[in-house]
Every structure is written in structure tokens, then in C-alpha cells.
Amino acid sequence: MNGEQLKQKVNSGGIVYGTMISLGRNPRWSPAFSNFGIDYAILDTEHSARSRSEVADYLAAFNYSGVVPIVRVPIPASHYVTMYLDAGAQGVLAPYCETVEQVKEVVAATKWRPLKGELAEKAVETGELPSPATKEYLENRNRNNVCIIGIESVPAISNLENILEVDGIDAVFVGPNDLSITLGIPDQYDHPDYEAALREVISKCRAAETPVLIHHQTVELTQKWLREGARFVLYSSDARTLHNGYRDEFGRIKKVGAELGGDNDSDTVESDEVI
């Protein structure tokens, strides 16, 4: 699958599945993701410390995996968008967008790269390009680029209808930790205010025919919001899934060990990763 096929699948009513990469750094990890049954993976550069060259090496390996590589950039700025697209990403997630101007900058860099400045702004504002040949060339060059906009605060939700009027947004991302903090209910994902906020995002995005991905960390929450309309599924992270897998399997092994007189170690705690 490539970025264009990913967009086609979700826009035709399908469901796509992906995860966040917060821990992995060695490019040799990337082929393993092709065996996980996922469609895409988001490589985090907002909260995870990775150099530009490390990201480029990781992306180069990913492009042979059949899993669409997307980079979460540090801030919604064209510099980072084009930097990681040039490195081989097939899309970007721009975090914490709150204004139409931020979104237009991200869309211009994602959809009309390498056009810059006034002409890039005009392309987003009016759809006008220097020539039909330029438009065809840039559409073809950027056809795999997936543009995901982060809606992670109360002000962002209030402005969402205006944001969704910007042409070129392929999906809207919700960061539960950030959103719940701005709602005044940190990490209370069963709180009525949090659930109401997510339903508002889903409703507005459905009206604009824009898919929604919500980055929940448990199977139960992911299933719940899949049923409620978040069909661009983003579940957990490599670090948290590795932690949970070892915790579960070693917990079962240690249970037998305790029955045979071994140490009765305390259970491994839940992962505290917040990304």
C-alpha cells in the first residue's frame, strides 16, 4: 500500500489501521511492521528525540515494507513538513493546529511541494497554479502525500468548521491527552465532557467528509470510538504494545512459577508513556 491507496481506501468507506512509533530507531525494525496487518505507521518526531538522518534512514527502509510511513512533525510548520517529505515520508501529521492559517501552511507544503511563498498560498486559497502543466506535475509528484491535521484543544474544536473548509486535508487527528487537559479533565477518557468533545469532532468531520483518527492506548477505547465513527484507526505505540505483550506473557509464566515455589513477583505496572 502507498499513501494514495491509503486515502482511496478510507475515502471509499473502508477502515485503515495504524500505530505510532515512539521507541524504534533501527531501520531493521521497519520490515517487521509489514507482518502486523497494519496499513500505516506514524513515526513520532514531536515527543521522541530523533535526528533528521535517523528519520531518513527509517523512512527509506519503510518504503519497502508495504506499510505507509507518516511522520508526526514537531510543529505545524512548512519547514518540517517538506523536510520529512523530502526524506521519504508519504505523509505528515501536523500536531496542535488551532488556526486556519496554520492549516493552510501545512496543506500547501504537503500538497504543492516544492512550491513556496505567495504562489503556494495562492494554490491553497484559490486552486490557482502557474499553469495547467505545473498543476498536473505537482499533483502527480505529491499524489502519495497524506495530510493529517491535529485537533487537540478546545480552541481547535471551536474553529474546526473553518479549518475543514481548507481544501487538501486528508484526515483529522485527535490527541486524547492534550485534549483532555484543555477540557480540564486530564486523562479522564470516560468523562462526559471528553466524550462530547470527540462526538463533536466526529460530527463536524463527517459533515465535511473528512476521516478522523483518535490516538487511544487501549483496545476497549479504540473499539468504542471505531464504532462511533473513527474509521482511520490509530492504536497505541510500539513502546506500549511491547510493554503490554511482555507484561501479559511473563505474567502468565510467573503465575506458574509461583505455583511451583518460585518468587511471587508483583505485577508489572501499566505503561506510563504519553505521546
pLDDT of residue 255: 86
Domains with residue ranges and CATH for the chain: 3-259 (3.20.20.60)
pTM above 0.85, yes or no: yes
Please give the pLDDT value at position 267. 65
Which pLDDT score, from 0 to 100, does residue 108 have? 98
Chain position carrying cell 487501549: 218
What is the model's pLDDT at position 271? 78
Residue 172, strand partner residues: 149, 212
pLDDT at 249: 87
Q: Cis omega before residue 69 (within 30°)? A: no
Provide the CA 226 distance to its chain's centre, in angstroms.
Answer: 15
pLDDT score of 269: 74
Phi-psi region of 169 (alpha: psi -120 to 50; beta: other; left: phi over 0): beta
* Interhelix angle 117-126/100-111, nearest 10 degrees: 100
What pLDDT is attached to residue 131?
A: 97
What does the pLDDT profile of the chain (275 residues) look like in tens digits? 999 999 999 999 999 999 999 998 888 888 888 889 999 999 999 999 899 999 999 999 888 889 999 999 999 999 999 999 999 999 999 999 999 999 999 999 999 999 999 999 999 999 999 999 999 999 999 999 999 999 999 999 999 999 999 999 999 999 999 999 999 999 999 999 999 999 999 999 999 999 999 999 999 999 999 999 999 999 999 999 999 999 888 888 888 888 898 776 666 777 777 77
* HSE of 22, CA atoms in CB hemisphere, 13 A: 20
DSSP codes joined into one string, 106-143 = HHHHHHSTT--HHHHHHHHHH---S-HHHHHHHHHHTT
